[in-house]
């Protein structure tokens, strides 16, 4: 078996194991109250952190705003969370997966190229228009690209977990302790190329 195929198969096994093991636990109460809460009001169930983002200015780089149980404690135990995605022209949400929840994306503005890869390495590609939705099954690698050179795009994603997790492949592979020689052999290239990729990622804005 070629080194590249071996590496891809190993990656698929890791992602599949995350898919099988990860799920939100059921709760035996209506909702989870923080330990320090003495009086729960409607404010506890309200989140206002997206007010300035929806309809606001476009950021210079792709920006992901996560609304999970850590940002919105009322979601704890409810198996749901959200993310707001902002795509300036020619920006990408790099290949990643969510080990603990499926994702359904609603395109709010602009056009967006969507890509999904299953464990048979089949690529599904679609261009979404405003108002379209797309499902990313739990644990599968996917990414989005705004190919428009002038117009931004925005989207809202819902997840089937209060803490869906995010495994970003470029950073997971290249900004970790995986030895350069292993990466070079896996991608059938040389160590200098691997180091150049690493330097480029470290010099970027980092994972979103």
Q: Quick one: how far is CA 113 from the chain centroid?
A: 15
Whole-structure pTM value: 0.81
- What lies within 8 Å, CB to CB, of 45 at 6+ separation is 31, 74
Binding-site residues from annotation for Mn(2+):
96, 98, 103, 142
Binding-site residues from annotation for oxalate:
93, 98, 103
Tell me the per-residue pLDDT of 164-188, one tens digit each, with 9 for 90 and over. Answer: 999 999 988 998 889 999 999 999 9
3 state DSSP class of 198: helix
Compute the distance between CA of residue 148 and CA of residue 89 in angstroms, rounded to an integer. Answer: 5
Tell me the per-residue pLDDT of 35-57, one tens digit each, with 9 for 90 and over. Answer: 888 889 999 999 999 998 988 89
- pLDDT, averaged across the chain: 88
DSSP annotation of 75: G
CA distances from 197 to 6, 11, 71, 169, 180 (A): 21, 19, 32, 13, 11
């Amino acid at each position: 078996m070629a080194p590249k195929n071996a590496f891809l198969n190993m990656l698929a096994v890791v992602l599949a194991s995350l898919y099988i093991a990860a799920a939100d636990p059921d709760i035996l109460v209506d909702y989870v109250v923080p330990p320090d809460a003495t009086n729960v009001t409607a404010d506890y169930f309200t989140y206002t952190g997206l007010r300035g983002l929806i309809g606001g200015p476009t950021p210079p780089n792709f920006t992901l705003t996560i609304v999970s149980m850590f940002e919105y404690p009322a979601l704890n135990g409810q198996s749901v969370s959200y993310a707001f995605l902002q795509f300036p022209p020619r920006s990408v949400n790099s290949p990643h997966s969510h080990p603990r929840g499926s994702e359904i994306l609603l395109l709010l503005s602009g056009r967006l190229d969507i890509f999904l890869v299953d464990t048979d390495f089949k690529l599904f590609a679609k261009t979404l228009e405003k108002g379209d939705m797309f499902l990313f099954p739990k644990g599968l690698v996917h990414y989005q690209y705004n190919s428009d050179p002038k117009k931004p795009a925005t989207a809202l994603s819902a997840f089937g977990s209060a803490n869906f997790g995010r495994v970003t492949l470029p950073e997971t592979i290249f900004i970790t302790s995986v030895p350069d020689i292993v990466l070079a052999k896996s991608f059938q290239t040389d160590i200098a190329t691997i180091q150049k990729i690493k330097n480029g990622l470290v010099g970027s804005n980092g994972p979103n």
